[in-house]
Structures are given as structure tokens and as C-alpha cells.
Amino acid sequence: MSSSSSRLNSAQYWALNGLAGLALLLVVFSLWLLVGNRTLQAEVRVQQQFINETVQLSRLNSQVIQSLAELAVKTRDDQLGQLLSAQGITFSVNQPAPAQEPASPGPNP
């Protein structure tokens, strides 16, 4: 091989440099996307944790409200009932069903 055949001509030189520059830009863009993706993942994790904690607190709040309503009914505490009402919590007292008399047997044939 002669030395002239192993050399790049000007067009090939600039084409390879352009491709190398493009590859470098793609690497930088990929790193930028990676950092952005990790930031978004961290935000999503924080929001998911908030949602999970909110669900747990919601269950606890429901139990506390139910207990307070039951206590207000049991002790006939009007102030506690008014406090719950002021917070938009309404409840009603279920009256116990009257005792039913046993059914009388029908006439014997």
C-alpha cells in the first residue's frame, strides 16, 4: 500500500469529525436525559410516599371520628356532638329494634 491510499481526503476527514461531534452531542444529551429522569423519579417517590401516608392517616381519622361519635352517643355528650357537627361530621343514633314476640304456632291439623 502506498502512503497516499491510507490517508483520508478532506471530505472523509470532515465527515468523520462531524460524526464524532454528533456522537459527543448524543452522549451529552443522553446524560442530560438521565439526570432529568432521576430528578423526576425522586419527585414521584416523594409524591407516592405522601399518598401512602395520606391513605394511612385517612383510615386513622375515620377510626378516631367513629370512636368520638360512639362516645358522644354513649355518654350523651352534646358538646362532643356539637364539636363533630362544627367539623361537618354528622351521625345518627340507630334505635334498637323492638323485641319481637315469638311467632305463635299455627293451628294443628
Query: pLDDT tens track of the chain, all 109 residues?
Result: 445 556 889 999 999 999 999 999 999 999 999 999 999 999 999 999 999 999 999 999 999 999 999 999 899 888 988 999 898 988 887 776 666 666 656 566 5
With respect to residue 29, please indicate whether it lies within any of the assigned structural domains: yes
Q: Tell the residue number behind the cell numbers 381519622, with chain if given.
A: 61
Residue 108 belongs to some domain of the structure: no
Determine, yes or no, domain membership for 59: yes
pTM as predicted: 0.49
Give the range of the structural domain holding residue 34, as residue numbers without chain letter.
Answer: 12-86
Residue 23 covered by a domain = yes
Rounded Cα–Cα distance for residues 84 and 91 (Å)? 9
Counted domains in the chain: 1
Task: Report how far residue 29's alpha carbon sits from residue 90's, in angstroms, rounded to the nearest whole number.
Answer: 57
